[in-house]
Amino acid sequence: MLKKLTQVYHPTTIEEACKQLCEAKSAVIAGGTAEALKKDDTIETLVDITHIKELNHLSQDASTIKIGATTTVQDIYKSETLKGISGNFIKQVAGTVAATALRNTITAGGNLVAQLWWSDLPVAYLALDAEVVCRTGKPKRTVSVVQIINDTPAKFLKKGEIVAEILVPCYNKGTGCDFRKQIKTHHDYPTITVATRITLKNGMISEARIACNAVTSTPFRCQDAEKLLVGKKPTAENIAKAAEKAASSIKYREDFRASKEYKQEVFQVMVRRSLEASIEAAK
């Protein structure tokens, strides 16, 4: 719990929030489902960003889906705006996050920044090559999601900087995506989460993405395995080689739910099946 918490700000503009975050021992709170449970006894001030209208939006045009940081996961899941390959994929993944009551609270930005091993949307963002707009008041920088995830958001974001928006490219015919997670019961934490994306051009794989979580401690892109697919034919042999590489190139998170050996074997099968499904969808 936040034992030293003495004040909560409710700014209505990004500029105001970023200024308040420059105060010592302050932190952002959005949905609060992770922040409120933190055992951080240094935090004295919380900056609640859910009253900033500019951060709560969801739109899609021909090239990009824009997800405001405080958009709830339920709003994404139930959106009638999101369509097409990327839109339907993001909706599908959002629908697997927790249960309805929690989805009404968890925000897109909080889900990305908290970066827990069971976080689902960051895996989809990695597969879709999303970008993240970070704001320090008016100044902003747009960075690739893989950069912010690899650096960890806590280290990547500067003092007074927030995630304002997630930008997801819209893919067209010729691209297929797949998401799957292994979970013992709907309300347990997952053991393995996998997302893949394949783009085919003239019968060859022109782009491949393989992302995972839960088997790892944080969301991860299996770039060595992806490289084995690019420029190749989508044959069973090539898919199997990439799945084997993915399974042999990650650092497995220890967990009482399953041994490393079990996870490695099942992860390899899940990556293979996910790639097969993405390829089928891309045809």
**Binding footprint of ligand FAD on the chain (CB under 6 A):** 27-35, 49, 69, 97-98, 102, 105-107, 109-111, 113-114, 116, 118-121, 157, 162-163
- In the bound state, the residue with its beta carbon closest to ligand FAD is 110
Least distance CB 277 / ligand FAD (angstroms): 21
Q: Which is nearer to ligand FAD, 142 or 249 (CB)?
A: 142
CA 10 to CA 53: how far, in whole Å? Answer: 12
Unique residue bearing structure tokens 């824009």: 66
Q: Which is nearer to ligand FAD, 159 or 233 (CB)?
A: 159
Least distance CB 98 / ligand FAD (angstroms): 3
Q: Which is nearer to ligand FAD, 134 or 225 (CB)?
A: 134
Ramachandran assignment for 184, one of left (phi > 0), alpha (psi -120 to 50 degrees), beta (any other): alpha
Least distance CB 115 / ligand FAD (angstroms): 8
Q: Which is nearer to ligand FAD, 148 or 229 (CB)?
A: 148
**Closest to 97 (Cα-Cα) out of 129, 74, 63, 114:** 74
Q: Which residues pair with 220 in a beta bridge?
A: 212
Unique residue bearing structure tokens 């839960």: 214
**Closest to 159 (Cα-Cα) out of 17, 275, 5, 44:** 17
Cβ-contact 46, 2 below 8 angstroms: yes
Residues 6+ away with beta carbon under 8 Å from 145: 112, 122, 125, 126, 129, 130, 131, 132, 166
Least distance CB 153 / ligand FAD (angstroms): 7
Least distance CB 102 / ligand FAD (angstroms): 5
Main-chain phi, psi angles of 267, to 5 degrees = -60, -45
The DSSP secondary structure of 39-95, one letter per residue, reads: --TT--EEEEGGG-GGG--EEE-SSEEEEETT-BHHHHHT-SS--HHHHHHHHHHHT
Least distance CB 261 / ligand FAD (angstroms): 25
On the CB side of 265, CA atoms within 13 Å amount to 4
Least distance CB 192 / ligand FAD (angstroms): 13
